[in-house]
């Protein structure tokens, strides 16, 4: 792992820990978690928002104003609004995606939840995701949070990972195994 990647991961974890502790101290953890999830959706679905955050040409005051506008419009708790303003002023918004991920991991770990990664070849509906989450929770005898990703190049099937347990039913993997077997023959 490169030192730059390690730095960004440890910095993101530090910011996430600070947000977690402040949210908990101010009894706003549930509200902050809810709003941070909606901010994550915005970050992943709005290329304009993501580009603005990552752009070195947009000055930090403009970024802070955009963040405050979003926070006000969506009634973000004061703790989250101030935190986002702080990282905007410190020019650390480019860490936002990693901070969000680290924060959600902290919340999940504190609740004793396991995290499952689910990758599918077809776009799964919310109901399908909930059904998978329910079945996995039952099988692992623990509450599970699903980190879902749609990846059409899998051709068909699912990849599910919970901790060190991985189930890969994707056609892409099966084709790679078949190709490897044919080359060895």
The DSSP string of 17-75 is: HHHHHHHHHTT-HHHHHHHHHHHHHHHHH-HHHHHHHH-TTS-HHHHHHHHHHHHHHTT
Contact 103, 19 (CB under 8 A): yes
Instruction: Pick 173 or 133 by higher pLDDT.
Output: 133
Judgement on whether residues 124 and 74 belong to the same structural domain of the protein = no
Judgement on whether residues 36 and 122 belong to the same structural domain of the protein = no
User: What is the average per-residue pLDDT within 56-63?
Assistant: 89
Judgement on whether residues 63 and 151 belong to the same structural domain of the protein = no
Judgement on whether residues 176 and 136 belong to the same structural domain of the protein = yes
Domains: count for the chain: 2
Judgement on whether residues 92 and 128 belong to the same structural domain of the protein = no
Instruction: Pick 184 or 14 by higher pLDDT.
Output: 14
Judgement on whether residues 26 and 88 belong to the same structural domain of the protein = yes
Domain span at residue 79 reads: 3-109
Q: Where is the domain boundary, 75, 93, 109? A: 109
Judgement on whether residues 50 and 70 belong to the same structural domain of the protein = yes
Judgement on whether residues 59 and 14 belong to the same structural domain of the protein = yes
Contact 146, 107 (CB under 8 A): no
Tokens standing for 92?
């650390």
Q: Where is the domain boundary, 51, 85, 109? A: 109
Per-residue pLDDT tens over the stretch 73-92: 999 999 999 999 999 999 88
Judgement on whether residues 104 and 120 belong to the same structural domain of the protein = no
Work out the angle at residue 184's Cα, subtended by the Cα atoms of residues 180 and 185, and round it to the nearest 5 degrees.
120
Nearest CA among 114, 169, 106, 159 for reference residue 138:
114
**Of the given ranges (19-28, 86-95, 123-132, 157-166), which has the lowest mean pLDDT?**
157-166
Q: Where is the domain boundary, 74, 109, 144? A: 109
């Amino acid at each position: 792992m490169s030192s730059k990647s390690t730095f960004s991961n440890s910095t993101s974890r530090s910011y996430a820990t600070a947000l977690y502790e402040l949210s908990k101290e101010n009894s706003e953890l549930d509200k902050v978690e809810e709003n941070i999830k909606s901010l994550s959706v915005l970050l992943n679905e709005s290329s304009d928002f993501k580009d603005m955050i990552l752009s070195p040409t947009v000055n930090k005051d403009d970024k802070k104003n955009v963040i405050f506008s979003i926070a006000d419009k969506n009634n973000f708790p004061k703790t989250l609004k101030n935190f986002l303003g702080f990282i905007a002023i410190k020019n650390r918004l480019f860490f936002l995606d990693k901070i969000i991920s680290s924060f959600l991991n902290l919340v999940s770990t504190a609740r004793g939840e396991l995290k499952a990664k689910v990758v599918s070849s077809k776009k799964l509906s919310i109901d399908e995701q909930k059904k998978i989450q329910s079945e996995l929770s039952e099988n692992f005898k623990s509450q599970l949070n699903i980190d879902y990703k749609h990846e059409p190049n899998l051709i068909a099937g699912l990849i599910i990972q919970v901790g060190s347990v991985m189930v890969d039913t994707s056609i892409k993997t099966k084709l790679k195994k078949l190709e490897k077997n044919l080359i060895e023959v």
